[in-house]
Amino acid sequence: MAEAPAQVVEELFRRIDDGRWGELAGLYAEDAFVAHPLRGTHVDGRTALGERFLRLGTFRMRVSDVVVHETTDPEVVVAEYRSRGPGFSAANVQVVRVRDGLITHSSDYHDHLRMAAARGDFTGLAVSYESSGGTHEPLVAAPLGSPRDVVWRLLDGISATIPGTRADLYADDAVVTHPFHPTAPPLTGKDELRQHFARGGGEGLRPRHVVFHDGADPELVVVEFEYAGRVGSGNPVVARNVFVTRVRDGLIVESRDYADHVAFAAATGRLPDLLAAARSVVTAD
């Protein structure tokens, strides 16, 4: 009997943690497709994946704090974890489809910024963020107050006339973290969130390519999406993101927003500041 998706993903992380790079490709289907949305790249097929893994040689990367979320799609799981290597400790989230015991598709969101800072080389970090215009995609019908409905209203509200009102979607004691930002502190409580949103900056953006993964846990929803449009002085941007959000009684109580900070910084002229922040958290390991 084929292993369940959660078991396959946990085995993937065990092999990574042990440095068994040569054994990773065996967990993927022959025609597997692995996307890296934050880099705009992908790897197609088990053979190419195997070659990529083997190039890592004796590199060691430890995996910890693994949480695998099952979804209402029996083939799909979402894994959050931390990876630690020379000079970095980074957050990661992967949306993985497993069929017949093998990974057929994976969208891998990694903290490329911290990894680049540890290498001391940011070359190629900022991929092309030119927008092709983007479209506003309507919400597939969801019950009012459901996790999917609440998160859609959050995404759709980025261009709200009064952006601070987005805080009304959160509980009074909500906690929001940004794992891919090197120095951003957690936002705790509705008041802090209101101040955060009131700064604006999303007036020219719309959500597009929105994909929801409803958790087997009825409070949990995971959403992959892009913000596309123009920011700052009119610079085009496409920012790819994934949010892991818990909604209770129609309000967000917790969210880990894995956002594309590099894209926003590059489009608004703040990339040097973001790179400096990333350098500041490089460890001595």
Q: How many domains, the chain?
A: 2
Does residue 128 carry a pLDDT above 80?
no
Helix or strand or coil: residue 29?
Answer: strand
Give yes or no for a contact between 229 and 136, defined as CB atoms under 8 angstroms apart. Answer: no
Q: Which band of pLDDT confidence, cut at 50, 70 and 90, is reported for residue 124? A: confident
Q: Within this chain, do residues 159 and 255 fall inside the same structural domain, yes or no?
A: yes
User: 86, 110, 134 — which closes off a domain?
Assistant: 110
User: 90, 110, 130 — which closes off a domain?
Assistant: 110
Q: Which band of pLDDT confidence, cut at 50, 70 and 90, is reported for residue 21? A: very high
Q: Within this chain, do residues 95 and 177 fall inside the same structural domain, yes or no?
A: no
Does residue 133 carry a pLDDT above 70?
no
Does residue 232 carry a pLDDT above 70?
yes
- Give residue 174's domain range: 147-280
Q: Which band of pLDDT confidence, cut at 50, 70 and 90, is reported for residue 168? A: very high
> Residue 140: what pLDDT?
53
Q: What is the pLDDT of residues 173-201, one digit of tens each?
A: 999 999 999 999 999 999 999 999 988 77
Q: Within this chain, do residues 156 and 76 fall inside the same structural domain, yes or no?
A: no
Tally of CA atoms within 13 A in the half-sphere of 23 that contains its CB: 11
Q: Within this chain, do residues 173 and 274 fall inside the same structural domain, yes or no?
A: yes
Q: Within this chain, do residues 90 and 163 fall inside the same structural domain, yes or no?
A: no
> Residue 141: what pLDDT?
61
Cβ neighbours of residue 61 closer than 8 Å, sequence gap 6 or more: 16, 17, 19, 83, 84, 85
Q: Within this chain, do residues 168 and 268 fall inside the same structural domain, yes or no?
A: yes
> Residue 284: what pLDDT?
59
Q: Is 239 part of any domain?
A: yes
Is the CA virtual torsion 256, 248, 78, 138 positive or negative? Answer: negative
